[in-house]
């Protein structure tokens, strides 16, 4: 069994074997994150075939897409708290097993309801895996500088996963049925399980927060209701159910926060938000996830429907973002050591905004070469995301690593929901305003409904404008956050979250 790494260890005190194994352990954590992130985007490619095969109606399709993120978001906080007590390695490996078994369940899925159950169980596995990866990186790399580099690689993996998912999905669907989008997880999770048993040390909190039943109900109910409400608000469902969900979510989460503040060792260390370093890292992660997910969502539709490319070719066309994501985050810690973490984080956000603004400034019809440059800049700007992770995990004491990891993962999950809901809604609004009068209900509902009709040319041009509008709004929001981070972060902050 891999020996545990003491919480107060430094790079100098680690044994040679521990030093060697931790990089192998990082590879396991990065690979597992890659699978979970890919699973968020692969389904978008597989959904049309799945819908046709199982005769899934509109409501069933909605739940097939939504249930994964609802379950994952709801369980992040309680499962991170349980992992602090039970063992983060044990939680991670259990998540691997659940993820693999749920993926196998796609083989016996005979109805949309079966797929919804499979996706819900995948959400449970994802909620066990995602915060555990960050907590274990904190344990594997006690030295702040090395931890920042490791988290940069972790952020690069997340960026690659989001861009590679559609490519993998398109390639699998061109050769196999929609089941392959699920089954591809099985060998990857088995390999991660074996490698994790060999390479990862166990890690627990020395002062774990209490896991109380009321807190679990408040956090799970609040996150599920809030994410549900935001998703449906973004889809234009301005009905009573949506607003009730938002109100209930806000009320439950407020009650959860108040409960945590009243406890000496709470399930979630919400007092961490009083630290401006932690707070800056969280809002950087939130805005980065928001704009990147919106760009992937609207951009993939533009590539397939406006450019007329297949899902596989469209996935390949998104690779410049992955390339930028591979370069920016790993390099950021070394640059931060020279010119300061605050400067690098803000510069990363500015580059991210520049990529988004490029979409707005491109001529119409929009050339793919310009879009590729924009994607590359956005990927490179994700260097801010890697350093944000280092600040979040470094600002939290070792015994609160689970809470910090849960908050960061919630930032990504909520950011992804906001990106698709809010920026996706803006894209829909701009698209509809650009349609000629009398375009018809189908064309106003989606670009797909306008294809093959007399309004197709106007619809294609309007959707291109909508793509550019997403870039403009995303750039403005990102620049605003860059200004807030510049004002809030101490000038001499380092990648450990201290001074």
Q: What is the pLDDT of residues 364-405, one digit of tens each?
A: 999 999 999 999 999 889 878 778 888 888 888 877 877 888
Dist CA 456 CA 448 (whole Å): 9
How high is the pLDDT of residue 10?
47
Higher pLDDT, 177 or 371: 371
Contact between 393 and 134 under an 8 Å Cβ cutoff? The reply is yes
Higher pLDDT, 254 or 407: 254
Higher pLDDT, 492 or 471: 471
Burial (0-12, 13-18, 19+ Cβ within 10 Å), 187 = exposed
Dist CA 463 CA 486 (whole Å): 35
Which phi and psi (to 5°) does residue 235 adopt? -85, 0
Q: Which residues contact 488 (CB under 8 A, 6 or more apart)?
A: 276, 279, 280
Dist CA 326 CA 32 (whole Å): 17
Q: What is the pLDDT of residues 64-80, one digit of tens each?
A: 877 887 788 788 888 88
pLDDT score of 58 more than 70: no
Higher pLDDT, 211 or 337: 337
Dist CA 250 CA 214 (whole Å): 16
Dist CA 367 CA 365 (whole Å): 6
Region 125-143: what's the mean pLDDT?
A: 84
Q: Which residues contact 317 (CB under 8 A, 6 or more apart)?
A: 303, 307, 309, 368, 371, 372
**Angle (deg, nearest 10), helices 401-418 and 276-301:** 30
Higher pLDDT, 255 or 202: 255
Dist CA 448 CA 426 (whole Å): 18
How high is the pLDDT of residue 16?
58
Highest mean pLDDT among 40-54, 187-201, 399-413, 474-488: 474-488
In whole angstroms, how far apart are CA 107 and each of 44, 122, 179, 188, 353?
19, 14, 7, 17, 43
The mean predicted confidence, pLDDT, of the chain is: 83
Instruction: Tell me the three state secondary structure of residue 421.
Output: helix
12 confidence band (pLDDT: 50, 70, 90): very low
The percent of residues above 90 in pLDDT, for the chain, comes to 25
Q: Which of 48-62, 329-343, 425-439 has the lowest mean pLDDT?
A: 48-62
pLDDT score of 173 more than 90: no
In the block, tokens 């109100």 appear at: 247
Dist CA 452 CA 449 (whole Å): 8
Contact between 409 and 285 under an 8 Å Cβ cutoff? The reply is no
Dist CA 309 CA 287 (whole Å): 29
Dist CA 210 CA 208 (whole Å): 6
Q: Which residues contact 343 (CB under 8 A, 6 or more apart)?
A: 336
Dist CA 158 CA 125 (whole Å): 17
150 confidence band (pLDDT: 50, 70, 90): confident
Contact between 19 and 142 under an 8 Å Cβ cutoff? The reply is no
Task: Name the class of domain 16-210+263-488.
Answer: mainly alpha
pLDDT score of 225 more than 90: no
Q: What is the pLDDT of residues 315-364, one digit of tens each?
A: 789 889 888 888 888 888 888 888 888 999 999 999 999 999 999 999 99
496 confidence band (pLDDT: 50, 70, 90): low
Q: Which residues of 134-169 are buried (b: 16+ CB within 10 A; e: fewer)?
A: bbbbbbbbbbbbbbbbbbbbbbbbbbbbbbbbbbbb
Region 105-132: what's the mean pLDDT?
A: 89
Which phi and psi (to 5°) does residue 492 adopt? -100, 20
Contact between 167 and 315 under an 8 Å Cβ cutoff? The reply is yes
Contact between 163 and 318 under an 8 Å Cβ cutoff? The reply is yes
Which pair of tokens denotes residue 94?
Answer: 């259990």
Q: Give the Cβ contact number of residue 295 at 10 Å.
A: 28
pLDDT score of 251 more than 90: yes
Burial (0-12, 13-18, 19+ Cβ within 10 Å), 4 = middle
Q: Residue 183: in which H helix or E strand, if any?
A: helix 180-183
How high is the pLDDT of residue 480?
97
Instruction: Tell me the three state secondary structure of residue 242.
Output: helix
99 confidence band (pLDDT: 50, 70, 90): very high
How high is the pLDDT of residue 353?
97
- Is the four-CA dihedral 105, 111, 117, 118 of positive or negative sign? positive
Closest to 402 measured CA to CA, from 233, 270, 208, 232: 208
Region 414-440: what's the mean pLDDT?
A: 83
User: What angle (nearest 5°) sits at the alpha carbon of residue 170, between those of residues 412 and 39?
Assistant: 30
Which pair of tokens denotes residue 199?
Answer: 């390479």
């Amino acid at each position: 069994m891999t020996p545990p790494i003491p919480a107060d260890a430094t790079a100098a005190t680690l044994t040679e074997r521990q030093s060697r194994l931790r990089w192998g352990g990082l590879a396991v954590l990065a690979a597992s994150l890659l699978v979970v992130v890919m699973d968020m985007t692969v389904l978008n490619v597989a959904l049309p075939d799945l819908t046709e095969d199982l005769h899934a109606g509109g409501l069933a399709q909605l739940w097939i897409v939504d249930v994964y993120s609802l379950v994952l978001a709801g369980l992040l906080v309680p499962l991170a708290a349980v992992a602090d007590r039970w063992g983060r390695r044990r939680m991670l490996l259990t998540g691997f097993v659940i993820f693999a078994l749920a993926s196998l369940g796609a083989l016996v899925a005979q109805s949309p309801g079966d797929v919804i159950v499979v996706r819900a169980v995948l959400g449970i596995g994802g909620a066990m895996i995602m915060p555990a990866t960050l907590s274990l990186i904190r344990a594997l790399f006690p030295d702040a500088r090395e931890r920042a580099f490791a988290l940069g690689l972790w952020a690069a993996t997340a960026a690659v996963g989001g861009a590679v998912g559609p490519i993998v999905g398109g390639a699998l669907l061109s050769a196999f049925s929609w089941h392959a989008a699920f089954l591809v997880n099985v060998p990857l999770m088995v390999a991660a399980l074996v490698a994790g048993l060999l390479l990862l040390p166990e890690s627990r909190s020395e002062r774990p927060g209490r896991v109380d039943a009321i807190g679990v109900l408040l956090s799970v109910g609040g996150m599920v209701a809030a994410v549900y409400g935001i998703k449906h608000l973004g889809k234009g469902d301005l009905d009573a159910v949506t607003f009730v969900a938002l109100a209930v979510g806000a009320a439950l989460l407020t009650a959860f926060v108040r409960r945590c503040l009243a406890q000496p060792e709470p399930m979630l260390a919400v007092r961490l938000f009083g630290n401006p370093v932690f707070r800056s890292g969280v809002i950087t992660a939130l805005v980065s996830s928001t704009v990147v997910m919106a760009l992937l969502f609207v951009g993939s539709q533009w590539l397939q429907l406006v450019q007329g490319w297949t899902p596989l070719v469209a996935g390949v066309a998104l690779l410049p973002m992955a390339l930028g994501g591979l370069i920016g985050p790993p390099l950021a810690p070394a640059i931060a050591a020279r010119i300061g973490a605050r400067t690098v984080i803000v510069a990363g956000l500015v580059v991210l905004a520049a990529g988004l603004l490029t979409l707005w400034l491109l001529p119409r019809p929009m050339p793919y070469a310009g879009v590729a440059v924009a994607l590359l800049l956005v990927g490179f700007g994700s260097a801010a995301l890697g350093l944000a992770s280092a600040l979040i995990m470094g600002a939290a004491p070792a015994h609160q690593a689970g809470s910090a990891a849960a908050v960061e993962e919630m930032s990504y999950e909520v950011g992804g929901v906001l990106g698709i809901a809010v920026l996706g809604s803006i894209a829909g609004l701009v698209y509809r305003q650009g349609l000629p009068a009398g375009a018809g209900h189908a064309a106003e509902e989606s670009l797909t409904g306008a294809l093959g009709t007399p309004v197709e040319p106007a619809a294609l041009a309007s959707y291109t404008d909508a793509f550019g509008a997403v870039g403009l709004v995303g750039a403005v929001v990102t620049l605003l956050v860059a200004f807030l981070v510049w004002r809030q972060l101490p000038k001499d902050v380092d990648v450990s979250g201290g001074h």
